[in-house]
Chain A
Amino acid sequence: MLFNSFEFALFLPIVFILYWFVTNKNLKLQNLLIVIASYIFYGWWDWRFLSLIVFSSIIDYSVGLGLKSQQNNAKRKLLLICSILVNIGFLGFFKYYNFFVDSFVDAFSFFGQTISSSSLNIILPVGISFYTFQTLSYSIDVYRRKLEPTKNIIAFFAFVSFFPQLVAGPIERATNLLPQFYKERKFDYDNAIDGMRQILWGLFKKIVIADNCALWANRIFDGSADYSGSTLFLGVIFFAFQIYGDFSGYSDIAIGTSRLFGFNLMRNFAFPYFSRDIAEFWRRWHISLSTWFRDYVYIPLGGSKVGNIAKVRNTFIIFVVSGFWHGANWTFIVWGFINALYFLPLLLFKKNRINTDQVAENKLLPSFKEFLQMGTTFFITLIAWVFFRAENIQHAFSYLAGIFSKSLFSMPERHPKDVIILLVLFVVVEWIQRDKQHALQIDTIKIPRFLRWSLYYGIIMVIHLMGGTQQEFIYFQF
């Protein structure tokens, strides 16, 4: 079920009413409702893949209990490996099987050998990359004794399948989300109202910004051979806002929806395009995934508290694995590799944590230096986005060669004025609100209701009138 669908518009109020009015007196029943609602939400795509979630939940629940009762370290490790193998096994099979087979065949043919292979027609279960990482975090944290394993099977199943963030995150840590299922939830009016605002802003980002940009980004990337450098440059800007609007929009809707049910999810995006360097960008972009890799891969490898060679190795591992997580294609691996190249100098010269504050804090405009820094960071992320969006490596290189040609300084053949104006306004609003959790977080005391409601209706009208052609959320494919 898509957040931007009629089905969800019906589903959400029904679950909301059942949650707060029918099951509110019994925590177990309330959690059970979440499990059922989440399975309906997920099964709407393809009910067959529900079995994967159920199986993964059973394995990790059992591993958790096994880790609690087991004191022998070797056996504890074995249990953890079992959880990792099951979760990564599912992911590997559904997401990467064909990639490995094809790459294997390509490698042999490169050396003049031909081997026959058979790719399988595998459908990627929606959200598998997200919920497998979430359940893995539980097993690892229990193994590390950072988290007490739960005996409450309904709470655990609800944690794994919690519908607002099941298919595209934020990837929650068991330490944050699971305990929320143990406690009685109280309806908080202000939290719910701001959750509604966050949902509205998320829908705006998805339906207006991302879907309109998608239309142009797709056209330009698909016909890249026919366009001038300036149009290609515009195309990658459209893609940058498409992916941002799409993914951060989804996260906003997920977080906002959770707030309606009395849950607090972790923040996933913090206005990343206002970053002054690439390290700051990665602290603000897809935060739940970056921190997951930091906590469960980077730090166990020694993190930055090791020698320079190990630091370089760790940085490449983390970024390349992160790229590969996004999809079974070499383009994502190269995208990760490029980001590692961007990040390494900052790490080696210990400059990776110089921009931890808010840019232009308490000021309306950035300084010239900050402006240049933000522009440069945005520009280098654009270069990397070309690899992320391209069909293959050759396409990415030819796209970049097209951008860096004389025609970069010509008038773009494609320059949809309405979308460009929309983007400028969007950036201005996000800039003004950059110190908030989301751009529609407004002071309800200072702004009278009439104005607030006018603003909400205005946004709804813009969504209605300017919404692009409905596209699925990009991150569902990851």
Chain B
Amino acid sequence: MKNFLVKSLIFFLPIELIIIAHLTLDPFRIIYDYDDPYEKSIVALNRSEICKRVYLKNREELGYNAFIFGSSRSQGYKCKSWEKHLPNDATALHFDGSGEGIWGIATKVNYIDELGDSLKYALVSVDGDLLINTDNNKKFFTISPPEMSKESYTTYYTKYIQAGLDLKFLAGYIDMTIFGKYRPYMKKVISRVKYFHRGNPLTADVFYGNGTHIKIDSAGYYNALIEKGVFYDRNTVDQNKKYEVTELEIEQLKSIKKVFDRHKTDFVIIISPLYDQLPLNIEQVELLNEIFGSENVYDFSGKTYLTEPIHNYYEDSHFRPHVANIVMDSVYSSR
């Protein structure tokens, strides 16, 4: 038996070392608590997990009652800017998720409800991709935490272990940690960051490192992206692209509305001004109007003064905070 155990320990040594490395380095920032998990992070982090941690850590002390929901495209909205449009009693938390869908928002809304917290104000940032996403997106940086998804903890942590066992990731992570130099093979597993993101430990807002880069060298930043073809020609976009309405989507939107009704939430649904300039198809807009009331739905999609300049975007997916501020000014001035 002793022989068997010793040999097993030796045989599984590589796996044991990987586990020890993960326990020590915590690349996904899921083992230990951090004031700012983005500090020196070179890996895509799970926004839902980060927001949940900030929420649970501060909810009793700060008494959050205003929430920004959406995918990473909601990150242009900042809590402090939003609070200016809300009554004085509002304390906001950014409760988004990477690759978030309507399912993710519904689970978060229900989670807040379950904890017995107030949902007095809500800003829901939506777009076509988000509306048709009606399931738990199970990549390690998008999977919903078990407290919200009600799925098993082991399934959740297994995702991180699987991602951590990826050889390309492991090599890239160790290489980058030791030498600090980005190499081509690290593409898709390690974030190529010149400036790290920063997280707000009280509101869970994230401030992109790209923002710092733009402040320092705006021309250099945008020229590099133009050269790479990131800001593609929007005339080539398929104008007939439609996001089909599904039964699941309707059901999940209604479940969100039900909680809002129960909490008498003062909410706004904002359709994002996206770089592709495609207006959200009418079926989706009508559905939102029908469920949430047209007086609460604001459509900023399509070709507008906001979506025209490329400097309103970090890249082809995320609009910048000054755009979000204009959107919020427009929304709240009309209410």
Contact = CB atoms under 8 A, between A and B. Distances in A.
Interface of A: 5-7, 10, 20, 187, 189, 192-193, 196, 453, 456-457, 464-465
B11 A453 contact: yes
B4 A6 contact: no
Interface stretch (B40-48, B96-104, B157-165, B312-320): B157-165
Contacts of B3: 189
A189 B4 CA distance: 7
B138 to A, nearest CB: 10
Interface string B122-166: 000000000000000000000000000000101001100110010
A453 B10 CA distance: 11
Interface string B1-25: 1011000100100100000000000
Contact of A193 (B4, B152, B157): B4
Interface residues of B, number: 14
Contact of B11 (A187, A456, A465): A456
B282 to A, nearest CB: 32
Given A6-B157, A6-B158, A464-B165, A20 B11 contact: no
A192 B4 contact: yes
A196 B3 CA distance: 14
Contacts of B8: 196
Given A10-B154, A193-B4, 17 more contacts: A5-B154, A5-B158, A6-B154, A6-B157, A6-B161, A20-B1, A187-B4, A189-B1, A189-B3, A189-B4, A192-B4, A196-B8, A456-B11, A457-B14, A464-B165, A464-B167, A465-B167
Most buried by B among A5, A6, A10, A189: A6
Contacts of B157: 6
B158 A187 contact: no
A348 B69 CA distance: 72
A320 to B, nearest CB: 39
Nearest to B1: A187
16 contacts: A6-B154, A6-B158, A6-B162, A7-B152, A187-B1, A187-B4, A189-B1, A189-B3, A189-B4, A192-B4, A193-B4, A453-B11, A456-B11, A457-B14, A464-B167, A465-B167
Contacts of A10: 154
A196 B5 CA distance: 12
A457 B10 CA distance: 12
A337 B32 CA distance: 60
Contacts of B4: 187, 189, 192-193
B162 to A, nearest CB: 8
Contacts of B154: 5-7, 10
Nearest to B8: A196
Nearest to A1: B154
Contacts of A196: 8
B160 to A, nearest CB: 10
A113 B167 CA distance: 63
A115 B132 CA distance: 40
Contacts of A457: 14
Nearest to A8: B154
A457 B3 CA distance: 20
Interface in B258-315: none
B91 to A, nearest CB: 38
A189 B2 CA distance: 10
A6 B3 CA distance: 25
Contacts of A192: 4
A24 to B, nearest CB: 9
Contacts of A5: 154, 158
Contacts of B14: 457
Nearest to A453: B11
A6 B164 CA distance: 13
A374 B62 CA distance: 73
A22 to B, nearest CB: 13
A457 B158 CA distance: 21
Nearest to B14: A457
Nearest to A186: B1
A13 to B, nearest CB: 9
A2 B165 CA distance: 19
Contacts of A464: 165, 167
Nearest to B153: A7
A242 to B, nearest CB: 22
Nearest to A6: B158
Contacts of B161: 6
User: Which 4 pairs, one residue from A and one from B, show the smallest C-beta to C-beta distance?
Assistant: A6-B158, A7-B154, A187-B1, A189-B4
Contacts of A456: 11
Interface in B82-124: none
Nearest to A44: B152
Most buried by A among B1, B3, B11, B152: B1
A20 B3 CA distance: 14
A235 B11 CA distance: 38
A472 to B, nearest CB: 13
Contacts of A189: 1, 3-4
A274 B162 CA distance: 36
A5 B162 CA distance: 11
Nearest to B15: A460
A456 to B, nearest CB: 7
A465 to B, nearest CB: 8
Nearest to B165: A464
A7 B158 CA distance: 8
Contacts of A20: 1
Contacts of A453: 11
A187 B5 CA distance: 12
A7 B161 CA distance: 12
Contacts of A193: 4
A6 B8 CA distance: 18
A190 to B, nearest CB: 10
A464 B1 CA distance: 28
A189 B165 CA distance: 29
A282 to B, nearest CB: 37
A453 B162 CA distance: 23
A98 B152 CA distance: 30
Most buried by A among B11, B152, B154, B161: B154
Interface string B168-191: 000000000000000000000000
Contacts of A7: 152, 154, 158
A6 B159 CA distance: 9
Contacts of B158: 5-7
B170 to A, nearest CB: 11
A338 B305 CA distance: 69
Contacts of B165: 464
Nearest to B7: A193
